[in-house]
Amino acid sequence: MSAAMLAQVTANGLSLAGLYALVAVGLTLVFGVMRILNFAHGEFVMIGAYLTYWLFALWGVDPLLSFALVLALMALLGALVQVTLVTRVLAAPHLNQILLTFGIAVTLQNLALLLWTGDLRAIKVWYASTALSVAGVSLSLGRTVGILIAATLTVGLYLLLFRTEYGRALRAVAQDPDAALVMGIPIQRVYVLAMAIGAAYAGAAGVVASVSMFTYPLLGFLFGLKAFCVVILGGLGSVFGAVLASLFLGLVESFVGTLIPQGGSWAEAISFIVLLLVLLVRPRGILGLE
């Protein structure tokens, strides 16, 4: 493999990793704080993509300009789901939690199908099809913007978690909710904050996905599967593990898709093969919580 090809494949892998990280960090944050697996997380990505699409189709709002609005709306949706539904099963058996979030996912998916049909919808903006050439490496401007968004939001989440009172509250509840309650931390509000942040990050992934691929009701299912693979590989509850796993899987998929004959078919399966191999050695994932 030539140096130019190596750089190109690496760049493609990084663009995949950025999108995976946007989806996965929100999912693992919710689990780390509440110890609940949100099977509706992928559908939050789908709703974010549809919000972006309709803002563009109906009012001509560029996805980059609608980004903040979509994040705010998705955070509101996440908080609403937490207050009205998820909070009722936090103390329930895990099976009840799984059934509830899975039910939310199915409801959102079928609601999208009823409202918007199963048609593939695309946002045609100039930067989606524009390529940049940097040192011989061709980069899609749309995907490059996605990488920058993912990096910015990841740094933002780090600053939130380790430089603010809200972040300290999130980490305290994640470590020991009973002790946090004794210390006066309103854990129910922290749960709402965690779900709102998780949904907002899913919405951010939806914005990027709406520009770089098609939007349709099953989009969330595909991203949901990939997100669970990433967070389990990185370690359930570890935000930084999810980022590392996203980088790893993005690069592996890119190299497999390029170097192996019919690699495009293998690229989708390789994530789960890698997951099985890693879990055989380290069942808790790369940085999993004890």
The mean pLDDT value for 157-180 works out to 91
Look up tokens 């349709």; give the residue: 216
Phi, psi of 47 (to 5 degrees): -65, -40
Tens-place pLDDT, residues 116-159: 999 999 998 887 777 777 766 777 777 788 778 888 998 999 89
Total length of the chain: 290
List alpha helices for 118-186, DSSP H: 141-163, 165-175, 177-182
Spell out where the chain has E strands. 131-134, 137-140
Can you give the pLDDT at residue 289?
Answer: 52
Q: How far is CA 127 from CA 24, 123, 132, 208, 212, in A?
A: 25, 11, 10, 12, 10
pLDDT tens figures, 255-270 = 887 877 766 667 777 7
Burial label, 137 (beta-carbon count in 10 A; 0-12, 13-18, 19+): middle
Architecture of domain 3-281: Orthogonal Bundle (1.10)
Judged against a pLDDT cut of 80, whether residue 65 lies above it is answered with yes
Q: What is the pTM of this model?
A: 0.92
Mean pLDDT, rounded, for 54-63: 95
Residue of 209, 192, 167 lying closest to 70 (CA atoms)? 209
Q: Taking residues 179-204, what's their average pLDDT?
A: 94
pLDDT of amino acid 1: 61
> Closest Cα to residue 112, out of 221, 200, 227?
221
- Give which of 220, 239, 227, 213 is closest to 23, Cα–Cα: 227
Summary mean pLDDT of the chain:
88
